[in-house]
Structure 1
Amino acid sequence: MRDWSVSWPAYSPVDVTPPELLPTALAQEVPDWAEGAATPADVLDWPKRRAAALIPFELDGRGWPLHPHGRTGRTGRNLGRWGENQAVDPIVVAGSGDQRQVLLITRTDIGVEAIPGGMVDPGETAPAALVRELHEETRVDLFGHRPVILGQDLVDDWRASDHAWVVSTSALYLRPATVKAVAASDAAAVAWWPFSSLDELDTAITAAGRTLYAAHRPLLKRALDHLSA
C-alpha cells in the first residue's frame, strides 16, 4: 500500500493477531513457536535484529518496526516474531526440459499448493533449515546436496502485517528424477507437478481443482529463469 513516508491520517489497518498472541494470552502461556513480547515495545534487542536483518527496515517514533514495503492494511502480529521473520523455501526440481517436475505441498493452514518450507529456528542457519523443513514436510532427505541459492526476498505472506513480516531464502535443488515424497508436518498432501513453465504449472494445478500460493509465484519464476539461463 502507501509508503511510510506518505501521510495517511485515515489509515485504519485490521488487527490480525490471533487469540494465542494477544497480551492476555501471552501473560499466561507463550506458544513454543512465538516470542513472548506482547508489543514491539517489549522487544529489547532491536539494534541486533536490524543488524541481522536480510532486508533493512526502519523503526517508527514509538520504536516499532515498519514493513520494508510500506503499509499492508494489517496490524498486530500473526507470526513468531515482531519485525523480520526469516524463512526458507527449498524448490526441488526433477528431470529436465518438457519432463521437468517440481515438488509442492498442500498447506494445512490455507489449503493451497506451495513450496515445502518454513521458519528458521533460533540459532539455525538457512542451509540447515532448508534441509530440515523439506524433510519434515515431505520426508525427502537432501542432506549433503548443495543447492543453488536463488535469493532472499520479502514474500507476500498472508500472516504479514505492518510490524511483522517474512523474508525467505529460496534455494533450488536439482535431481535427475523424482523421489518418493510423503506428506508430513504442515502438509496435507504432497505431489510432483509439471514444471516446464509457470503456465504449465498453473494449468495442472487448476485442472486438479487446486490453487497455487500467490506468494510463491515469484520464487518459482526465479527458479525457472535460472533453469532457462
Structure 2
Amino acid sequence: MSDITETIPAERRCWSVSWPEYTPADVTPPELLPEALAHHVPDWAEAAPTPADVHDWDQRRAAALVWFELDERGWPLHPHGRTGRTGRNLPKWGENSAADPIVVAGTGQERRVLLITRKDIQEEAIPGGMIDPGETAPAALIRELGEETRVDLRGHTPVILSIEIVNDWRASDHAWVASTSALFLLPATVTATAASDALDANWYPFGSLDALDAAITAAGRTLYAAHRPLLQRALDYLNK
C-alpha cells in the first residue's frame, strides 16, 4: 500500500492553501453510504452519514491522540492535510484511535518480531486495531494482540514508542487513524495463532528493516508500508 497523499502535490496538501479545483475521490464503501446507513448500521461503525450528523466534536477533539481542526462546515480535517480522498471507510468520522503492539523476542541474531497477515489487504503487519469506547490504549494493546494472535501478555509493561497519524489505506480528508505503538519485549518466541482479523501469524528476523523485508519477500509476502515507520522506531529503540 502506497502513501495515500502521493497524488497530492506537496505544496497543496496544507488546508490553508486555496485549491478551488480540488476534487477528491469518494472512498466510502456501499455499507456506509447514507442510504445504506438509513436501513442498517454495521456493528463496527457509527451511524452518522456525514460529519454534520456528529454532535460531539468538542469531546472528540479533546480526547484525540493528535489534535485536528474543523473546517467552516464543522467537518474534521486530516491533520496532515489533503489526502485526495473524501468520505469514510473507517468506523468513525475524524480520528479513529488505534493500538499497535510490537512484540519482539530474543536478542542479537535471534531477535524476532511478531507479525500477522491482515485479512483486508493480505500484507504482513503489526497485530493491532481500534481502541474501544472507554478503553485505554494499554488495555487495547493487550486485547488486540490476544484477539489476533492468541498471545496473552497481560502483566507485561510495554514501552510506548509513539503516538502518531498512521498512513492507513482507508484514510480520507475527514476520517483517519492515529495510533499508539508500543514495544513488548520477550526473552524468546511464544506460540502465536492467527485469529480474528488475521490470516496468519509468524515470527520474522528483526535485526533491521532490510532483514525483515528480505524474510517477508522470501515468504512470498509484502510488508504493510504504513507500519514501516513504527517498526523502524522499535529498531531504533532496541539498537540504542
When normalised by structure 1's length, the TM-score is 0.99
Letter of the aligned partner of 1:122 in structure 2? P
1:220 CA drift (Å): 0.2
Residue 231 of structure 2 corresponds to residue 220 of structure 1: yes
Residue 116 of structure 2 corresponds to residue 105 of structure 1: yes
Q: Please point out which of 142, 156, 159 is paired with 1:131.
A: 142
Give the distance between the partners of 1:101 and 1:113, measured in 2 at CA. 14
Deviations 1:1-26 (A, max 9, x none): 41101111111111000111110111
Q: Which residue does 1:13 correspond to in 2?
A: 24
Letter of the aligned partner of 1:196 in structure 2? G
Give the distance between the partners of 2:152 and 2:65, measured in 1 at CA. 26
Letter of the aligned partner of 1:34 in structure 2? A
**What root-mean-square deviation, in Å, do the aligned CA atoms of Structure 1 and Structure 2 show?**
0.6
Q: Please point out which of 188, 193, 197 is paired with 1:186.
A: 197
Q: Please point out which of 83, 88, 94 is paired with 2:105.
A: 94
Deviations 1:160-211 (A, max 9, x none): 0000000000000000000000000000011000001111001111111110
Residue 62 of structure 2 corresponds to residue 51 of structure 1: yes
Where does the alignment leave 5 or more consecutive residues of structure 1 unmatched?
none
Give the distance between the partners of 2:194 and 2:64, measured in 1 at CA. 31
Secondary structure in 2 matching 1:59? coil
Deviations 1:44-101 (A, max 9, x none): 0011111111111100011000000000010000000000000000000000112100
Q: Where in structure 1 do 4 or more consecutive aligned residues deviate above 3 Å?
A: none
Give the distance between the partners of 1:114 and 1:54, measured in 2 at CA. 21
Secondary structure in 1 matching 2:98? strand
Give the distance between the partners of 1:110 and 1:157, measured in 2 at CA. 11
Residue 216 of structure 2 corresponds to residue 171 of structure 1: no
Letter of the aligned partner of 1:183 in structure 2? A
Where does the alignment leave 5 or more consecutive residues of structure 2 unmatched?
1-7
Letter of the aligned partner of 2:231 in structure 1? L
Secondary structure in 1 matching 2:179? strand
